[in-house]
């Protein structure tokens, strides 16, 4: 039972939910066959991106509530994703120990960022270099050159898995 719920994405109207309204649930999206591990809203388009343990990365059009794009390439579960702040680029990371850089519109893989020895569990994207930062269960953080698709630097002072990262706004 819990497994089935983990495959569903629900979008809520928090203003309505905070006053106990019965119609606070706006949208329910179904399509993943395993738990959903990552979500990201586009600031530029009416899109929601989702990533799951089913190896699937989906782009949902929130005007039609339908999947309009799939990004294929991960060999196992996808645990995180991030949208570039200024370019139409999606970055995904997963259990296959790589981060994949996608052209959001064409669905083409631009780079496969290799070098981690375990799950890529956290991602950051920035408009300035390093534009992609990955955190892994191998205890490293890598800073990537987006244009070249190469690692610029590896940070190694963590003792345990990197599962989340944040940057000041």
pLDDT tens digit sequence for 20-61: 999 999 999 999 999 999 999 999 999 999 999 999 999 999
Three-state secondary-structure class, residue 168: coil
- Cβ–Cβ contacts within 10 Å for residue 113, how many? 24
Confidence of residue 79 (pLDDT cuts 50, 70, 90): very high
pLDDT given for residue 21 in this prediction = 93
- Asked if residue 2 has pLDDT above 50, the reply is no
- Pairing state between β 150-155 and 57-61: unpaired
Mean pLDDT value across residues 58-72: 97
pLDDT given for residue 169 in this prediction = 77
DSSP state string for 119-147: -EEEEEE-SSSS-EEEEETTS-EEEEETT
pLDDT given for residue 43 in this prediction = 92
Distance separating alpha carbons of residues 159 and 102, to the nearest angstrom: 30
- Asked if residue 1 has pLDDT above 60, the reply is no
Three-state secondary-structure class, residue 54: coil
Going by the DSSP 8-state scheme, the letter that residue 87 receives in this structure is S
Name every residue whose Cβ is closer than 8 Å to that of residue 78 and which is 6 or more positions away in sequence. 37, 38, 51, 52, 53, 55, 56, 57, 92, 93, 94, 95
Distance separating alpha carbons of residues 4 and 100, to the nearest angstrom: 27
Confidence of residue 5 (pLDDT cuts 50, 70, 90): low
Who wins on pLDDT, 168 or 49? 49
Distance separating alpha carbons of residues 129 and 145, to the nearest angstrom: 7
Name the nearest CA neighbour of 116 among 62, 156, 64. Answer: 156
Structure tokens at 104: 């959001």
**Tens digit of each residue's pLDDT (9 = 90 or more) over 86-142:** 999 999 999 999 999 999 999 999 999 999 999 999 999 999 999 999 999 999 999
């Amino acid at each position: 039972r819990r497994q089935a719920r983990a495959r569903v994405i629900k979008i809520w109207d928090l203003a309505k939910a905070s006053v106990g309204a019965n119609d606070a649930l706006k949208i329910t999206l179904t399509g993943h066959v395993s738990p959903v591990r990552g979500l990201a809203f586009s600031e530029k388009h009416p899109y929601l991106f989702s990533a799951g343990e089913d190896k699937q990365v989906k782009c949902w059009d929130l005007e039609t509530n339908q999947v309009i794009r799939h990004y294929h390439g991960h060999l196992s579960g996808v645990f995180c994703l991030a949208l570039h702040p200024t370019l139409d680029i999606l970055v995904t990371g997963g259990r296959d120990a790589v981060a994949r850089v996608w052209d959001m519109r064409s669905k083409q893989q631009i780079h496969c960022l290799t070098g981690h020895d375990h799950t890529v569990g956290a991602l950051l994207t920035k408009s300035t270099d390093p534009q992609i930062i990955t955190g892994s269960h191998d205890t490293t953080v890598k800073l990537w050159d987006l244009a070249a698709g190469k690692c610029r630097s590896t940070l190694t002072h963590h003792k345990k898995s990197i599962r989340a990262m944040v940057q000041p706004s």
